[in-house]
């Protein structure tokens, strides 16, 4: 290369940052230290991330594959969100021991419940490896050549970094491959469930309140990390001991006031701050509306079923939470983009970039070529959206896809593997088939009908065909498929050999799935998609590099990519619309105001009402005698920050980040300081529930409090 970006972050760039925007790399936080301290921070960057001593970094972990957690005791006790632990809480629940509905509190180590498959990852160190990764790369080689060299370099670098250790290492690109960082990690696999509030606390407000403020959700759960006798990661064993972290967080009960400094330390998942106007338009006006409509269909059917009995609520609760999260986020994102005139603002910057790039051969064609590639990508993305949100909406079609995989497999040993897996899946599937089939059939028929009426999927050639006829055809496909007959599918699978593939391919569900796949995602389209995405990524790499040169004195940050970051801001209310002001905190009073015993999401636990009526808040009340529940601040967060500790100016734990305000969910693309707020569970409400509500004083006694 003519220039290697070894000092990329020394002079960063781009559209000027707005107040409190940013997800900063902790290793480079010295660059932000003066700004953070001017805004109120009382500790140093070294206290947050240090290569020489234990620091706050050592208390922060990646929880599972997409949340954050934090150590709060010297015995590996860990806090995260209720929704982050949700699937493991549900997995450990049954109608007899319904921890999801009723809560769970281990009063001793022996009562803690193993969570197979759950991992907790601690960052040991990070390192800028741009020079090593880009060794041998130059601007004249093809993308394929570049990728081969980079992958080979990464393999060599990571192998050397962990040689002779129990660590793992990963290298991630920043700024679309203009810079690379290596993360050396320690991964723990013995993680156990310690405590969770009942869902009427941990999920209070349900999907109605999701992404909304004011918020009154006690969104927390408690786990513990175990290690071997040497305090290193070990597979589950009854002999393992609680892990002793290098650092655990100190908790402050002083709370916060408006304008107080706060910072969030966690693993934000994905942002797309450098997206072009075409990308913003694609999200807001093309794919988001389809996703929202199709998920609305699914949610309506699942919620109706969940309201019928406890068994269906337990079965669908985790699924609904996952579906609804994106569904509501996309609505807020599209509205926020429209309110900000997001597409037009991006176009204004692009016009300035194009004027700057006009006499620069490397950059002058970047945006015109970007526009051409997004025009091609648009139709493919829409097809892909229909495939994921309509074709794969019902279990029926996903099971058809699994059968098709079996039919297309010719290797005898792999046939046996797939067959055995499908037999086991179907044994479980038919245990509650009578109720589930009603829900799944309705979802299948309605989502497919929506897609067909929009002219997609290939099921009907004419989108003007009456919807009733489409529904009738789809209903017949569902009823006649072997997938809806326990006897039929088990007979087919138990005797299946390669010569029976034709039987599977003739099944109407499998035939429909194959038809939809071939129409929406044909081989030529998939190939074109991969080529276009690679070209767009190449163009973004040049675009970002050009921005650096154009605005070299403006400081900025790389997009989130599930690596450890620091965001900082202030506690602050906001005005969501004319005549309305949201103050920055909520209290238990709001939970009582929202109570509705006829709506599951707004049922208030009797014990909680008792504590409210007696005002028995203990040390967790604020100076006004109120019990705080949540607060909002201007910290820049996204998915993956769920469970992240929110810390005060002294680096003490004051809350658990768990959401963003709906009006600011476009912050993955565009940050607006007037609306973008992160929602935090006040640590005092969390501890109040553990202590006064649950009586789990054994956990309170493990914690360290500031004096």
10 Å CB burial of residue 359 (0-12, 13-18, 19+) is: exposed
- Residue among 414, 417, 399, 403 nearest 502 (CA): 403
Backbone angles phi, psi at 246, to 5 degrees: -65, -30
Active site residue 642: yes
Is 83 in contact with 658 (CB distance < 8 Å)? yes
Q: Which of 20, 58, 209, 219 is catalytic?
A: 219
> Which residues on adjacent β-strands are paired with residue 113?
193
Write the DSSP assignment of 239-264 as a string of letters: T-EE---S----B--S---TT-EEEE
Q: Would you call 559 a catalytic residue per the annotation? A: no
Q: How far apart are CA 91 and CA 67, in angstroms?
A: 18
- Which tokens hold the place of 161? 């970094």
Residues making up the chain, counted from first to last = 707
**Token duo for residue 346:** 């991006």
Say how far apart CA 501 and CA 409 lie, in whole Å.
9
Radius of gyration of the chain (CA): 26
d(CA 647, CA 56): 10
What's the token pair of residue 548? 């650096």
Task: Dig out the tokens for 671 from the structure.
Answer: 């940050």
In the block, tokens 């309170």 appear at: 700
83 assigned to active site: yes
CB atoms within 10 A of CB 698: 16
Which member of 252, 277, 642, 667 is catalytic?
A: 642
Residue among 82, 83, 216, 570 flagged as catalytic:
83
C-alpha 45/C-alpha 26 separation (Å) is: 8
- Separation CA 597–CA 108 (nearest Å): 34
Q: How many CA atoms lie within 13 A of 678 on its CB side?
A: 38
Helix axes 523-550, 366-386, angle to 10 degrees: 140
φ and ψ at residue 596, rounded to 5 degrees: -150, 100
Give the three-state DSSP class for 652: coil
What's the rounded Cα separation, in Å, for the pair 659 and 586? Answer: 14
Helix 366-386 with 288-306: angle, nearest 10 deg:
30
Instruction: Tokens for 182, please give them.
Output: 């290596």
Cβ-based neighbours of 187, under 8 Å, separated by 6 or more: 119, 120, 121, 122, 168, 233
Burial 623-647 (b: 16+ CB within 10 A, else e): eeebbbbbbbbbbbbbbbbbbbbbb
In the numeric block, which tokens belong to residue 129? 């490896």
Active site residues: 83, 219, 642
């Amino acid at each position: 290369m003519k220039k290697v970006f070894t000092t990329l972050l020394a002079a960063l760039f781009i559209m000027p940052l707005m107040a409190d925007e940013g997800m900063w790399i902790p290793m480079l936080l010295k660059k932000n230290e003066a700004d953070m301290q001017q805004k109120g921070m009382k500790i140093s960057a070294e206290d947050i991330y240090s290569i020489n001593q234990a620091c706050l970094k050592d208390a922060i972990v990646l929880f599972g594959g997409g949340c954050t957690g934090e150590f709060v005791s010297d015995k590996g006790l860990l806090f995260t969100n209720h929704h982050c632990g949700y699937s493991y809480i549900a997995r450990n629940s049954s109608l007899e021991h319904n921890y999801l509905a009723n809560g769970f509190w281990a009063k001793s180590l022996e009562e803690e419940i193993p969570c197979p498959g759950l991992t907790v990852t601690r960052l040991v160190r990070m390192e800028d490896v741009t020079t090593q990764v880009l060794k041998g790369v130059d601007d004249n080689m093809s993308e394929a050549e570049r990728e081969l060299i980079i992958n080979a370099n990464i393999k060599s670098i990571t192998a050397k970094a962990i040689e002779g250790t129990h660590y793992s290492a990963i290298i991630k690109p920043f700024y679309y491959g203009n810079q690379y960082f290596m993360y050396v990690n320690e991964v723990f696999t013995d993680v156990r469930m310690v405590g969770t509030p009942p869902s009427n606390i941990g999920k209070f407000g349900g999907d109605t309140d999701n992404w909304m403020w004011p918020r009154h959700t006690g969104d927390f759960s408690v786990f513990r990390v175990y290690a071997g006798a040497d305090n290193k990661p070990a597979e589950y064993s009854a002999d393992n001991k609680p892990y002793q972290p290098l650092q655990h967080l100190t908790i402050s009960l002083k709370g916060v006031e408006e304008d107080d400094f706060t910072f969030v330390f966690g693993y934000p998942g994905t942002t797309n701050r450098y997206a072009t106007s075409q990308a913003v338009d694609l999200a807001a006006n093309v794919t988001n509306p389809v996703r929202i409509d199709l998920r609305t269909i699914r949610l309506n059917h699942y919620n109706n079923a969940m309201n019928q009995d406890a068994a269906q609520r337990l079965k669908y609760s985790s699924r609904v939470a996952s579906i609804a999260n994106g569904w509501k986020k996309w609505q807020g994102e599209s509205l926020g983009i429209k309110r900000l005139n997001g597409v037009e603002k991006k176009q204004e910057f692009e016009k300035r970039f194009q004027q700057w790039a006009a006499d620069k051969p490397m950059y002058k064609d970047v945006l015109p070529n970007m526009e051409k590639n997004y025009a091609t990508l648009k139709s493919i993305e829409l097809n892909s959206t229909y495939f994921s949100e309509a074709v794969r909406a019902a279990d029926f079609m996903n099971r058809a896809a699994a059968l098709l995989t079996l039919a297309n497999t010719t290797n005898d040993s792999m046939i046996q593997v797939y067959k055995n897996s499908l037999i086991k899946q179907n044994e479980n599937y038919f245990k509650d088939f009578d109720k589930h089939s009603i829900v799944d059939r309705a979802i299948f028929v309605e989502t497919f009908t929506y897609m067909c009426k929009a002219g997609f999927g290939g099921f009907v050639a004419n989108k003007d065909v009456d919807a009733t006829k489409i529904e009738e055809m789809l209903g017949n496909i569902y009823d006649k498929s072997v997938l809806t007959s326990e006897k039929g599918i088990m007979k087919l699978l138990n005797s299946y050999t390669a010569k029976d593939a034709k039987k599977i391919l003739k099944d109407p569900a499998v035939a429909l799935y194959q038809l939809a796949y071939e129409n929406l995602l044909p081989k030529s389209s998939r190939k074109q998609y991969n080529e276009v995405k690679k070209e767009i990524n190449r163009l973004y790499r040049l675009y970002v590099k050009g921005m650096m040169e154009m605005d070299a004195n403006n400081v900025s940050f790389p997009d989130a990519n599930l690596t450890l970051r620091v965001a900082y801001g202030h506690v602050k209310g906001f005005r969501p619309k004319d005549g309305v002001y949201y103050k920055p905190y909520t209290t238990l009073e709001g939970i009582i105001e929202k109570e509705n015993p006829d709506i599951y999401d707004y049922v208030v636990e009797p014990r909680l009402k008792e504590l409210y009526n007696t005002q028995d808040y203990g040390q967790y009340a604020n100076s006004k005698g109120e019990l705080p529940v949540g607060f909002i601040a201007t910290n820049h967060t996204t998915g993956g920050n769920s469970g992240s500790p929110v810390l005060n100016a002294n680096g003490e734990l004051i809350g658990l980040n768990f959401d963003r305000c709906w009006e600011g969910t476009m912050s993955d693309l565009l940050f607006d300081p007037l609306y973008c707020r992160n929602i935090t569970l006040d640590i005092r409400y969390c501890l109040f529930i553990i202590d006064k509500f649950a009586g789990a004083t054994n956990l309170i006694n493990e914690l360290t409090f500031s004096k």
